[in-house]
Amino acid sequence: MELTLNEKRLLVALGPTGSADATILAKKMSARPEAVVQYANLAGERGLVNVEKRISRRFTPTEEGRTYLGKGLPERQLLESFGETIPMRDLQRHPLAKIGIGWMRKKGWVAIRDGVVQKTGASAPGPDEAAFARLGESGAVEDSVGVADLLRRGLVAEEEAVTYIVSMAPGGKALLAGGLDLQEETGTLTRDQILSGAWKGLSLRRYDVGKLPKRVYPGKIHPYQRLLDEMRRILFDMGFTEMAGGIVQSSFWNFDALFQPQDHPAREMQDTFFLGERWPLPAGYERVRDMHEFGGATSSTGWGGVWSAEKAQQCVLRTHTTSLSIQHLARHPKPPVKAFCIGRVYRREAIDPTHLAEFEQLEGVVMDEGVNFRHLLGFLKEFYGKMGFEKVRFRPGYFPYTEPSVEPEVYVDGLGWVELGGAGVFRQEVTAPFGIEHPVLAWGLGISRVAMLKLGLRDLRQLYRSDVEWVRETPTYGGRR
């Protein structure tokens, strides 16, 4: 083992006592205490010494406290300034009278009658004076009853003292016993030393070029957040704007506006988190009602039956971000619309490694004159491609609000084809009540799924755990940033 000269000197300084405070070692080595702590930590890593950090509370005099040091507390000085009695008026001329008289009375040392101050005979020093005397001797005191009194009077202040105790470990002892060469070492050669050849006679400090430095973990964005940021950037790059909305939605916006029948199984208690609140229906809700009951002014026949306004008012934790898409379109019924959102959605799932009751969805809508199903497939291919899924295929799907509907699948090495979201063209039953006259392409996907695939996770819950080790070890992917 190659030791630095400083480490050797530390062992030599430590030798006689086996254990010492870093400040004492610093004096012996004529070095700064911080430097000694640094040498000791290095030697500690090699098992030569042990370093123990001790933090202690102590109290040192304040500026006011210092003025009494060696002389005594004001009441003591005042008490000793007169004999058995003194007229109050005379005592008041003493510079410490203001503070001292009150304390003398409080401590029962004097009584005042008819303008005359008279000693009671009791004036034994209390714990505060004892502590103050100790303070005078050593400059600092440990906590005690008396110190608490001094602290209250503002005569001492608390200080945290850190001391490092360095003690010899068996490794260091053995090295020291074997004898250490304390010749000065050269770490950096000068130009002159090289030119003159003097370097040949120097004892050079050795470097272990094979040794890895200590790992450092700089601040890092959570892998899932990185992925969300990347998706957001991809969509901005593709010309989308971001839409926003609340986590709580009325059933009207979460289901009815999307032509989901009121007796649809997804609207059952076991699938959706219903809330106690009810929200009023928006103006023009009757067109949605008519659409459900008989198809409104369109060629659709609707679902039939009676549509309940009460059911539509019931609030839910949004079960999909499509509830934001339809509201965005209701506010912007004229083309072009090209918007996306990333947000958390809630479903009453039995929780297991691949299903959680809350997860993030990404949603996109495109509305413009003449866009069609083929454009939708193109958008999806492009988006998934930018996400790093090169092979994408589409299977027919079903959603109450789109026709035609597809379920995109991406190819993942080792897993094969994996379903990733849903997409389709909004039905007239969805668009007509809001006066939307052009085709709307819509798609959505669970992005915690994407994260699982991209980060190679077996358990979705890993995304939501506070596992700093995992965050540290997960490489930043994609190479974009």
Ligand X SMILES: N[C@@H](Cc1ccccc1)C(=O)O
Closer CB to ligand X, 126 or 404, in the complex? 404
Provide the minimum distance between the beta carbon of 365 and ligand X in the complex, in angstroms, as a whole number: 8
- By CB neighbour count within 10 A (0-12 exposed, 13-18 middle, 19+ buried), where does 351 fall? exposed
44 phi/psi in degrees, rounded to 5 = -65, -40
Question: What residues between 428 and 447 interact with ligand X by CB under 6 A?
Answer: 442-444
Closer CB to ligand X, 135 or 366, in the complex? 366
Which one of residues 251, 254, 272, 322 is an interface residue with ligand X (CB under 6 A)? 322
DSSP track, 15-83? TTTSEEEHHHHHHHHTS-HHHHHHHHHHHHHTTSEEEEEEEEEEEEE-HHHHHHTTT--HHHHHHTTSS
State the amino acid at position 200 in one-letter form: K
Which one of residues 11, 423, 451, 463 is an interface residue with ligand X (CB under 6 A)? 423
363 is known to lie in a ligand binding site: yes
Q: Does an H or E element contain 393, and which?
A: strand 392-396
Provide the minimum distance between the beta carbon of 47 and ligand X in the complex, in angstroms, as a whole number: 58
Closer CB to ligand X, 172 or 364, in the complex? 364
Cα distance between residue 480 and residue 170, in whole Å: 51
Closer CB to ligand X, 33 or 404, in the complex? 404
Q: Choose the binding region for ligand X from 208-216, 388-396, 416-424, 464-472 (rule: CB under 6 A).
A: 416-424
Given a contact cutoff of 8 angstroms between Cβ atoms, the answer to whether 402 and 442 are in contact is yes
**How many other CB atoms are found less than 10 A from the CB of residue 294?**
16
Cα distance between residue 6 and residue 99, in whole Å: 54
Provide the minimum distance between the beta carbon of 476 and ligand X in the complex, in angstroms, as a whole number: 29
Running DSSP on this structure, what letter comes out for residue 260?
Answer: -
Which one of residues 424, 430, 431, 463 is an interface residue with ligand X (CB under 6 A)? 424
Closer CB to ligand X, 303 or 340, in the complex? 340
91 is known to lie in a ligand binding site: no
354 is known to lie in a ligand binding site: no
Q: Does 250 bind ligand X (CB under 6 A)?
A: no
Question: What residues between 291 and 320 interact with ligand X by CB under 6 A?
Answer: 320
401 is known to lie in a ligand binding site: yes
Strand-pair partners of 394: 408
Cα distance between residue 175 and residue 179, in whole Å: 7
Provide the minimum distance between the beta carbon of 428 and ligand X in the complex, in angstroms, as a whole number: 15
Q: Count residues near ligand X (CB under 6 A).
A: 11
Cα distance between residue 195 and residue 109, in whole Å: 83
Question: What residues between 390 and 409 interact with ligand X by CB under 6 A?
Answer: 399, 402
Round the CA-based radius of gyration of the chain to a whole number and report it. 40
Closer CB to ligand X, 340 or 399, in the complex? 399
Tokens of 68: 């009494």
How many angstroms from the chain centroid is the CA of residue 34?
Answer: 31
Provide the minimum distance between the beta carbon of 442 and ligand X in the complex, in angstroms, as a whole number: 4
The candidate with the shortest Cα–Cα distance to 203, out of 220, 189, 221, 217, is 189
274 phi/psi in degrees, rounded to 5 = -90, 145
Provide the minimum distance between the beta carbon of 346 and ligand X in the complex, in angstroms, as a whole number: 12
Tokens of 77: 């000085």
Closer CB to ligand X, 206 or 395, in the complex? 395
Given a contact cutoff of 8 angstroms between Cβ atoms, the answer to whether 330 and 257 are in contact is yes
Provide the minimum distance between the beta carbon of 253 and ligand X in the complex, in angstroms, as a whole number: 13
Closer CB to ligand X, 322 or 327, in the complex? 322
Question: What residues between 339 and 378 interact with ligand X by CB under 6 A?
Answer: none
Provide the minimum distance between the beta carbon of 422 and ligand X in the complex, in angstroms, as a whole number: 3
Known binding residues for Mg(2+) are 403
Known binding residues are 322, 361-363, 401, 403, 426
Which residues bind to ligand X, rule: CB under 6 A?
Answer: 320, 322, 399, 402, 421-424, 442-444
Known binding residues for L-phenylalanine are 322, 361-363, 401, 426
